[in-house]
A = this chain, B = another copy of it.
Amino acid sequence: MSGWLSIVGLGPGAESMLTPEVAASLAEATDIVGYQPYVERVPARPGLVRHASDNREELQRAQAALRMAAEGRRVAVVSSGDPGVFAMASAIFEALEAGDPAWRTLDIRVLPGISAMLAASARVGAPLGHDFCCINLSDNLKPWALIERRLRLAAEADFAMAFYNPRSRARPEGFARALELLREACGEQRLIVFARAVSTPQEAIKVTSLGAATPEMADMRTLVIVGSSLTRLIERSSGEPLVYTPRSVP
| Complex Cα spacing A14 to B24, Å | 14
CB distance from A84 to the nearest CB of B (A): 4
Report whether over half of chain A's contact residues are helix, strand or loop; otherwise say mixed: mixed
Q: Is A121 an interface residue (CB 8 A)?
A: yes
Chain A contact residues, CB within 8 Å of chain B: 11, 14-21, 24, 58, 82-87, 89-94, 96-97, 104-105, 108, 110-115, 118-119, 121-123, 125-136, 141-143, 146, 149-150, 153-154, 156-159, 232, 234-238, 242, 244-249
Given A90-B245, A149-B157, A236-B104: A119 in contact with B112 (beta carbons within 8 A): yes
Copies of this chain, tallied across the complex: 2
Give every chain B residue within 8 A of A238 (Cβ-Cβ). Answer: 105
B96 touches A246 (CB 8 A): no
B236 touches A142 (CB 8 A): no
| Complex Cα spacing A80 to B15, Å | 21
CB distance from A227 to the nearest CB of B (A): 12
